[in-house]
A and B are shown apart, each in its own frame.
Chain A
Amino acid sequence: MELVLFVIFGAVAVASAIMVIVSRNAVVSALFLILTFFCLAGLYVLLNAQFIAALQIIVYAGAIMVLFVFVVMLLRTGKEARRGYRLIFQKSIGMIFVVLFLLLLGSITLMVAVTGMRGPYTAEAVRNIGNTQAFASVLFTDYLYPFEIISVLLLVGIIGAVVLAKKKR
């Protein structure tokens, strides 16, 4: 049962992620990205991480992507979008990142999957503590410093948005 669900969610996630890049219409791309996020949330649920799954949907699919769709809808997705720019600079940088990503993926697979090393938070352990409690206790003890740093980062983003919005007047 879990394996079947994993295959379904995984396959749909990968397929829709490919469709995000392939699709010609920007709104359709955005919708496929939402589908990808939704499938990722499904995978989190299979790992007993319901809390992360709900956050994935609320924050990414429900809030950030609404803003994406919002902006894309107001753009004229007509001829200028299909003109096909020559993005040689971007493409060459992209290739470097693809190589780096594959190296990272390979090293992770070799290190974790082969040795079978596991942290204390396996799916079973999380189920016993309760997902939200396990998440919160780690976030507010071991990872408090990065958590606070990220909140400052978000604050900087908000201030930046306010400054940009004020300038136009």
Chain B
Amino acid sequence: MSPFWIDLIIILIKVIVVIGALLGGVVVMVVVERRGAGFIQERLGPNRVGPWGWLQPIADGIKLFFKEEFVPAQAHKLLYLAAPAFFMFIAFVTFAVIPFGDKIELFGRTIQLQIADVNIGILYIFAFASLGIYGIVIGGWASNNKFSLMGGVRSAAQMISYEVALGLSIIGVLMIGQSLRLNDIIGVQTQYWSYLPRWNIFIQPLGFLIFLIAAIAEVNRIPFDLCEAEQELVVGYQVEYGSMKFAMYYLGEYANLITFSALIVVLFFGGWHIPWIEGLTIHPLLLALLQVGAFVVKVFAFLWFFVWVRWTFPRFRYDQLMRFGWLVLLPLAIFNILATGVVMVLIP
């Protein structure tokens, strides 16, 4: 086989593995979310299907598959059907640039454990994350329902506001990493100050905090889920969606959650880096596997954090949400850039 075909097959395998892992992650998250909610609220949660309720998402999936397809009257039919598909598509495409391991040598080939090593990696993620809004906005508009429309409009306003803080909060990390490529950002974090690993969380705690809060807003979870807001808007843009169209929104939402957890790990917690492992002699392949494992563990730690936050906090009021984004997060993010710049000039 010519090198072109081998490269193509390697890329296809990586794509299939990543999509499989994302779907698997979503399935696990559905259980963790519901059982976690039960745990936090001192109740049982779904525990009947399978051992400890682990087969619940499969039962949910089967149920959603066999529900009746329904299009509301007066809806813009094409856009109504396309919106959830678009939302899910964007959510899955965004993950493509996230590196989930170091490069490995296999049969004399160097394989990067990442689907696409783009030199503007971080901007790619922001570009696609900002396109994801259209799935929500258009879904809300095309359903021809006042609650849906309100949900869509709210989410548009919210996402624009928090994207600004989200983008500015990572400038400090980019200044330290001197690159937009995610592999370079991890590369800087694999070094040490004597014994402490140079993870960005230690240099950019403020940037991390802003990014974390803005990320919760960006994936539309409590306390920032104003576009769903059951009590006021029923469930906002999803009101008119049922069966697999609803499932697509759900899949997209959890895929987004996983992507943002992975992004937090890559930007602030050293990505796949395991601290102090360089001193040990381990077979390179085993090391690579361990690093992928470390990445997955870190991502799941943040996924659990998101579940924890969701079932702990009440929802913001809409004006509070806007004021917090523009008057607190944005100035803090700009201050963080300024402080990082000053420190970088003073201590080269």
Interchain CA distance A57-B132 in the complex, whole Å: 12
Are the CB atoms of A50 and B126 closer together than 8 Å? no
State whether the Cβ of B29 lies closer than 8 Å to any Cβ in chain A.
Answer: no
Instruction: Write the nearest CB–CB distance from B179 to chain A, whole angstroms.
Output: 8
Are the CB atoms of A58 and B160 closer together than 8 Å? no
Nearest B-chain residue to A67, judged by Cβ: B160
Chain B 147-181 interface 0/1 with A at a Cβ cutoff of 8 Å (1 = within): 00100110011011001000100000000000010
Interchain CA distance A74-B160 in the complex, whole Å: 17
Are the CB atoms of B152 and A73 closer together than 8 Å? yes
Chain B 285-321 interface 0/1 with A at a Cβ cutoff of 8 Å (1 = within): 0000000000000000000000000000000000000
A126-145 contacts to B, CB under 8 A, are: 130-132
Interchain CA distance A61-B134 in the complex, whole Å: 10
Give the chain A neighbours of B167 by CB distance below 8 A. 58
Dominant SS at the B interface?
Answer: helix
State whether the Cβ of A6 lies closer than 8 Å to any Cβ in chain B.
Answer: no
Instruction: Write the nearest CB–CB distance from A1 to chain B, whole angstroms.
Output: 10
Are the CB atoms of B123 and A58 closer together than 8 Å? yes
Give the chain A neighbours of B131 by CB distance below 8 A. 38, 57, 61-62
Are the CB atoms of B163 and A69 closer together than 8 Å? no
Interchain CA distance A28-B138 in the complex, whole Å: 10
State whether the Cβ of A54 lies closer than 8 Å to any Cβ in chain B.
Answer: yes
Give the chain A neighbours of B134 by CB distance below 8 A. 31, 34, 66, 69
Interchain CA distance A57-B167 in the complex, whole Å: 14
Give the chain A neighbours of B126 by CB distance below 8 A. 54, 58, 62
Nearest A-chain residue to B159, judged by Cβ: A66
State whether the Cβ of B137 lies closer than 8 Å to any Cβ in chain A.
Answer: yes
Instruction: Write the nearest CB–CB distance from B226 to chain A, whole angstroms.
Output: 15
Are the CB atoms of B160 and A66 closer together than 8 Å? yes
State whether the Cβ of B127 lies closer than 8 Å to any Cβ in chain A.
Answer: yes
The contact size tier of chain A is: 20 to 34
Give the chain B neighbours of A66 by CB distance below 8 A. 130, 133-134, 137, 156, 159-160
Give the chain A neighbours of B152 by CB distance below 8 A. 73
Interchain CA distance A51-B181 in the complex, whole Å: 11
Give the chain B neighbours of A63 by CB distance below 8 A. 130, 160, 163
Are the CB atoms of B141 and A73 closer together than 8 Å? yes
Give the chain A neighbours of B118 by CB distance below 8 A. 50
Instruction: Write the nearest CB–CB distance from B239 to chain A, whole angstroms.
Output: 16
Give the chain B neighbours of A73 by CB distance below 8 A. 137, 141, 149, 152-153
Are the CB atoms of A57 and B130 closer together than 8 Å? yes
State whether the Cβ of A70 lies closer than 8 Å to any Cβ in chain B.
Answer: yes
Nearest B-chain residue to A70, judged by Cβ: B156
Given known A58-B127, A62-B130, A132-B180, contact A69–B119 (CB-CB < 8 A):
no
State whether the Cβ of A27 lies closer than 8 Å to any Cβ in chain B.
Answer: yes
Interchain CA distance A130-B137 in the complex, whole Å: 36
Are the CB atoms of A62 and B127 closer together than 8 Å? yes
Interchain CA distance A31-B180 in the complex, whole Å: 29
Instruction: Write the nearest CB–CB distance from B33 to chain A, whole angstroms.
Output: 28
Give the chain A neighbours of B157 by CB distance below 8 A. 70
Instruction: Write the nearest CB–CB distance from B177 to chain A, whole angstroms.
Output: 12
Instruction: Write the nearest CB–CB distance from B182 to chain A, whole angstroms.
Output: 13
Nearest B-chain residue to A48, judged by Cβ: B119
Interchain CA distance A38-B79 in the complex, whole Å: 18
Interchain CA distance A69-B133 in the complex, whole Å: 11
Interchain CA distance A31-B134 in the complex, whole Å: 9
Looking at A25, A51, A54, the one whose CB has the most chain B CB atoms below 10 A away is A54
Instruction: Write the nearest CB–CB distance from A51 to chain B, whole angstroms.
Output: 6
Q: Which residues of A are in contact with B by a Cβ distance under 8 Å?
A: 25, 27-28, 31, 34, 38, 41, 50-51, 53-55, 57-58, 61-63, 66-67, 69-70, 73-74, 130-132
Which 4 residue pairs of A and B lie closest in terms of their CB atoms, listed nearest first? A62-B130, A54-B123, A57-B127, A50-B120
11 of the cross-chain contacts (CB-CB < 8 Å) are: A27-B141, A31-B134, A50-B118, A51-B120, A54-B126, A54-B127, A57-B127, A61-B130, A70-B157, A73-B152, A131-B119
Beyond the given A50-B120, A61-B130, A66-B156, please list 7 additional residue pairs across the A-B interface where CB-CB is below 8 A. A54-B127, A63-B163, A66-B130, A66-B133, A69-B141, A70-B157, A73-B141
